[in-house]
Amino acid sequence: MLSSCARRQILGIVFPIIFAIIVNAIPTPAVASSIQEILRNRIESGGIPLRLSVGEEPVYASVLLPVFYERRIYRPAWINDKGLLAHATSLLDALLTADAEGLRPNDYHWNTIEHLLS
């Protein structure tokens, strides 16, 4: 089981990548399958150490991100065939109030996520 710190790191890493990939996509089984393939390709071609970015922002994920998606067989974590999952919306809400927990929303790429969703 991952520690809460590791879970927070995964959320901060994974969430922006998923939104970068799915923005303006119409969720269908074909799209979910396509996203799964995109995730696999981006992670596998990221090099060692893994280097990924969302727009101009680097994503620090050399260990946690590949493990997270490998365990999921690269299935998207934040959407399904019907669209954005409820826990993704909950995560967005949590990011908005991260400063109340001593965290900085921008450490979780909040501005990028907000821009991608608008």
- In this prediction, residue 71 carries a pLDDT of 92
CA distance 59 to 118: 21
CA angle 37, 39, 43 (to 5 degrees): 120
Number of domains in the chain: 1
CA distance 42 to 38: 6
18-54 tens-digit pLDDT: 655 554 444 556 666 788 888 888 888 877 767 777 7
Residues of the domain holding 8:
4-117
| Count of C-beta atoms within a 10 Å radius of residue 22 | 21
53-62 tens-digit pLDDT: 777 777 777 6
